[in-house]
Chains A and B, each alone.
Chain A
């Protein structure tokens, strides 16, 4: 048990960084949940990662799969530092004991920012304000484990049931507040279906002879009982497919060869997994924002406030390069870049607004009248704020709003070392000025690149436009906190989709080299199609809207008046992976108990068109066609639908295809 000793030693060393990271986070305007830190070893860390950040989850092979991958991956990466933090109040975060001090500090600062995001982003309130997640997940684990150990329940059947439900874990209505489907008040929820089921069960109990049953209470009669008085439901298409199945689904009894009501354990597991899907949804919906947010504040604290000691800095920089430098579209990097862009544009707007208020300067003549080199000098933060040393303490004025009077007093009294924690003598205003983004080397020129269009837009809403005599006078009034204030507002109300939609611009796409690509038939591979921001935005929307998954809703729970389920894929121009959809439908069958259908639209190309496309180097135009996929428990059947049958699900305005027009045949 030397580990425990080791862990304790590490915990002691980390106490100060943990406290100070929290203090600094508050100083920077963040308001995180309190965070409890736990020291774990390498194996425990891998376990936590496999379990999605928690210590107890229900038994399932999927965690084993993730553990296996995690191990392979960390072997490959040489066991790099990971950070795990739970959306909970207080949040729980885990630190791996073998990490270097620099890594630990990076993780801690990163975690503080996540905890702030959890506490303040409105989407996280959709599940519950105080989720008490660890306890909830542990309860779920216990309940499911009990079912598995129950000698009356086949363990394999439980596992299969979990698999079926997990196939639909993204088919919830994540934009609605989570509401449980109650189990207790059965009568309220009882529908014709369950009545009919009860009826057939009751008939079984009567122990009638087969003849009597066959003659009097035959399937036709039962069917009639079922469909009597029934109309098409749900009234509106239902996006919470899991919830709908929880209410109206049945299981398919292999032996009896028909649908029977779900058992209690089936119903409860369905509800448990649905609740977990809702709990994890906000994290999936704000990955770019949340990771970017954490990376942004981590870098402010670690680099700009020198939270990493000089000796730790190299190893920290190396770590960051590894995280951000990985290939492909990297949500961390996209998020970080977008937050930095928001900060820069907000700050630039402040500068521009001040300049436009100078007498005689209008949006038309800014670039002629204003020397941006001088502007750059004028907006530079006060050196008294940027370089605080033990010697400069005497020159600071406790009355200055940028100075934290209390902090200054204890610094002067020598209660802490001001060369280690210079930020302690500053207020939020002081820190905002100290870390003003527009003067950083990589952002020099950002102000001068302001476009004529933006200048015009800003000036359109300005009335008080000759308040200042000179540029000097105007820029002396700059509000340095505007960038950070705006960032906090955005982190409260946005999710990835709205964030990308609102803030992605051509300037951003150009500065950060984003592009779109498509599969082209003529070459048989993926080609770059566009660097236009509207295109990039469309493709990102596709990836982040609805978890990057197609929208599938319940259209009818009594399809063709035969109690079949009809799901509808709301086609947006991008087709389904049809093979996977068939497999998924087979799973849905087990949760509905009766035949299931899926209405969709596919794009068809015949071999000939592709041949021609290859020869002429022109993209063929696929034909869109309605399809109905049906699974009745035995085989999958696909048939064409007339266009009027699919008109309701057909794509309308947005075209996600970014191929240039001239490529088309």
Chain B
């Protein structure tokens, strides 16, 4: 036992306390997640206690120029709390997030809903040589990194070099021999070998061996030059290249994965799409995005907003836009067709086209425009999600018309969402449609 054990127990406990995936999709806070990372809340302080109602409690903040009525952000967790002096678990009721990557998300959703969608074909995994930026210790001589070898050699040279003349003079001091000079050189941090000293000493005549009376006398009369000065003056005759310093450039291997998917998300942003409906669309589309991201190696997204006209937007804006105009759903499909044709050819890309709205459309647009367009745009799956929080409006017939027309077809799904509890069913309907078709 010990902290390791405690940590493991915590992980087990944390896993148990994670919000159920279906519940998370329907009611959880999706906003904390990003397309490449799904964050599912788990309560940090999972032990309950008698506590005040957070909202009823209010609080104290600090900041210049606060005035009555100004909004303040959500009360923030207070750093400095509970980080010392033993105050376990005082973090308050905030959430910790269980982080999943989309792959794990897809896998769990498969398990939870009993789905088994296999990403199809169009996968070309190719190896290509990239820039010569990696390094290896062996290779053809043409790829040898000479600059690097030279630098290493030079460093080595500087480390090994010493003032030969000066050391030779030391040998000439009366009473100094190779052994005592070696001792002295070590103290002076001069990298001289004993063998060199012995060779040099052997070459001195007996007079030379007593040329200086003492080390001090020698040091006073002989000028010492630093390695850097000497190199600057004399140049370098040789650089000690070593095999171990050799490095060869090596091309980076780039894998081009082409198990691609493009998801087109279309949303009706016209005046009739109120807040509740927008939220339902977000709750349905976002998990679909995560799921497909998790299933494919490379996922791209196209977001199209439309009223009577259609335009492409960024994901950040997509769920928030509101416009006043009327509704013509075919405008979005026209734009989708153009974008797909241009950037995501059917031969290279898996395609999913998901549209959502309240089923209201301008007269005859569904029959005459949208349905033919859906037939013309090749895709793994087309889907329409009708979001009507308060049941059907009389003229909201788009979903029914589409459903009726494509009843026999296996690549068009229609789902109805009137409250958050319907979201998981809708997702199942959509994703299982392709499965059956497969």
- Residues of A participating in the B interface, judged by any CB pair closer than 8 Å: 47, 49-54, 59-70, 82-87, 145, 148, 159, 163, 166-171, 280, 283-284, 287, 290-291, 323, 326-334, 512-519, 523, 525-531, 536, 539-540, 542-543, 548-550, 552, 569, 574-578, 580-581, 583-584, 587, 603, 656-658, 660
Contact = CB atoms under 8 A, between A and B. Distances in A.
Given A145-B1, A517-B72, A528-B69, A49 B84 contact: yes
Nearest to B8: A64
- Looking at B8, B50, B68, B91, the one whose CB has the most chain A CB atoms below 10 A away is B50
A49 B9 CA distance: 18
A291 B77 CA distance: 18
B140 interface: no
B48 A64 contact: no
A529 B61 contact: no
Contact of A528 (B12, B54, B57, B67): B67
Interface in B64-84: 64-81, 83-84
B49 interface: yes
A95 to B, nearest CB: 13
Contacts of A660: 68
A531 B12 CA distance: 46
Given A513-B64, A528-B72, 12 more contacts: A67-B6, A170-B50, A330-B80, A331-B78, A513-B63, A518-B58, A528-B68, A528-B71, A539-B59, A549-B49, A549-B50, A657-B58
B86 to A, nearest CB: 3
Contacts of A517: 58-61, 72, 75
Contact of A62 (B60, B75, B89): B89
Contacts of A68: 7, 10
B96 interface: yes
B188 interface: no
A519 B56 contact: yes
A166 B13 CA distance: 16
A147 B85 CA distance: 27
13 contacts: A62-B10, A69-B96, A328-B78, A329-B59, A334-B62, A513-B65, A517-B58, A526-B59, A542-B57, A574-B57, A575-B52, A584-B48, A656-B57
A528 B70 contact: yes
B62 A329 contact: yes
B189 interface: no
B47 interface: yes
A528 B69 CA distance: 5
Contacts of B71: 523, 525-528
B210 to A, nearest CB: 47
Contact of B52 (A62, A168, A577, A584): A577
A168 B48 CA distance: 9
The 9 closest A-B pairs by CB, nearest first: A52-B86, A64-B10, A583-B48, A64-B6, A64-B7, A61-B9, A515-B66, A519-B55, A328-B76
A291 B82 CA distance: 12
A587 B3 CA distance: 25
Contacts of B79: 326-328, 330
B88 interface: yes
A80 to B, nearest CB: 10
Given A67-B3, A84-B84, A516 B49 contact: no
Nearest to A517: B72
Given A49-B84, A163-B47, A575-B56, A59 B6 contact: yes
A580 B93 CA distance: 10
Nearest to B78: A328
Contacts of A328: 61-62, 75-79
B352 to A, nearest CB: 35
Contact of B80 (A70, A283, A331, A575): A331
Contacts, number: 234
B244 interface: no
Residue from A330, A540, A580 whose CB has the most chain B CB atoms within 10 Å: A580
A170 B47 CA distance: 12
Contacts of B47: 62, 163, 166-167, 587
A114 to B, nearest CB: 8
B368 interface: no
A584 B50 contact: yes
Contacts of B52: 542, 548-550, 574-577
Given A67-B6, A512-B62, A515-B62, A59 B56 contact: no
Interface in B1-59: 1-3, 5-14, 44, 47-59
A414 B203 CA distance: 56
Contacts of B70: 527-528
B74 to A, nearest CB: 7
A62 B2 CA distance: 12
Given A516-B59, A575-B53, A64 B73 contact: no
A515 to B, nearest CB: 4
Nearest to B11: A64
B87 interface: yes
B44 A148 contact: no
B86 A283 contact: yes
A52 B87 contact: yes
Nearest to A164: B47
B3 A85 contact: no
A54 B58 contact: no
Given A82-B83, A85-B85, A578-B53, A65 B1 contact: no
A122 to B, nearest CB: 18
B6 A61 contact: yes
Contacts of B65: 513
Given A61-B10, A550-B50, A584-B50, A284 B87 contact: yes
Contacts of B3: 47, 50-51, 63-64, 67
A66 B88 contact: yes
Interface string B346-363: 000000000000000000
Nearest to A525: B71
Contacts of A580: 48-51, 93
A53 B87 CA distance: 9
A54 B87 CA distance: 12
A38 to B, nearest CB: 15
A463 to B, nearest CB: 41
